[in-house]
Amino acid sequence: MSDNKKILIFTATYNEAENVENLINSIKLYSPNSHVLIIDDNSPDGTSEIIKKKISKSENIFLISREGKSGLDTAHKEAYEFALKNQYDYLITMDADFSHDPIEIEKILFNLKNYPFVIGSRYIKNGKCLMRGRRLAMSKYGNLLMKFLLRIDCNEFTTSYRGFNLKKLKNFHLNKIQTKGYSFFMGTIAEINRMNFQIKEIPIIFKDREKGYSKIPKFEIVRTLINLVVLSLKKRG
C-alpha cells in the first residue's frame, strides 16, 4: 500500500458484465493492496452476480447493490461517504468500462501524497483522448468552454478518473454538489475550486470502451449546458 495509506478504488456499474471482472483483476494487478468498492444500479445483465463471485474468492472487495438506476452522481456521493466512514486516506474514482486504464492508479496515488485533489486529464501535455469524430469534438471544446466560463485554471472537468486525499480535503463532501448526472463532475471541480483546494492535473490516455455500449443520454448534453450557465453566474455573483 502506498506509504501504508488506506486506499479505496471506486467504480459505478450498470450493465458492465463484460468488463467488471477484468477491471477488478487489473486494479488488483496494479494496486494489489487497495480495496475496491463497486456500486451497481441493479444491472439486468448479471453484473452484480459476477462481482459477488469475485468477492467470494478475494478479500477487500465490496459491493453495494441498489434497487434501481439511481444515478451516477448519487453513486459517487455514496462512495465518498463510505470512504470517510471507513477511514480511508485516499479515494480514487474511475469508470468501469476500461476507458480509464488501471495502470494510471499508481501515478494518481503518488501525486496524492502532496495534493488534496488529483484529476487524470486528457487535455494537457502528454494526455490523449482516443475518442473520434463528434464525441471527441464535444468533449474537447466542452471542456474549453467550462474553463472559460467558470474561470478555473483546469483543463479537464468531465472525466471521473480522480483522486481524493481525504485527510487534506477538510470539510469537503460530495453531498454538497447540487449538479446531477454527468454534470456532477463539473460541479465537483467548481466546489473544490470555491473551497480553495489545489487541483493537480496529470496526463492520462483516455480510451473508448472496447465492450458494452455508451450510456450517456442525449439530454445530458442539454443539462450540462444549463448547469454550466448556472455555475458561471454563481461564480460571477
Whole-prediction pTM value? 0.92
- Measured in degrees and rounded to the nearest 5, phi and psi for residue 92 equal -115, 130
**How confident is the model at residue 2, as a pLDDT?**
62
Over pLDDT 70: what percentage of the chain? 94
Which pLDDT score, from 0 to 100, does residue 161 have?
Answer: 98
Q: For residues 35-45, give the mean pLDDT.
A: 97
Q: What is the pLDDT of residues 2-19, one digit of tens each?
A: 678 999 999 999 999 999
Please determine, for residue 1, whether its predicted confidence score (pLDDT) is greater than 60.
no
Identify the helix (H) or strand (E) that includes residue 134: helix 133-150
Cα dist from 149 to 122, 160, 201, 204, 216, whole Å:
19, 20, 19, 24, 23
Q: Which of the residue ranges 24-28, 64-68, 224-228 would you say has the lowest mean pLDDT? A: 224-228
Say what the pLDDT of residue 211 is.
57
Task: For the beta carbon of residue 156, count every other beta carbon within 10 angstroms.
Answer: 27
Q: What's the pLDDT at 217?
A: 65
Instruction: Tell me: pLDDT of 214 over 70.
Output: no
Q: Which residues of 54-75 are buried (b: 16+ CB within 10 A; e: fewer)?
A: bbeeeeebbbbebeeeebbbbb
Domains of the chain listed by start with CATH number: 2-236 (3.90.550.10)
pLDDT digits (tens, 9 = 90+) for 66-117: 998 888 999 999 999 999 999 999 999 999 999 999 999 999 999 999 999 9
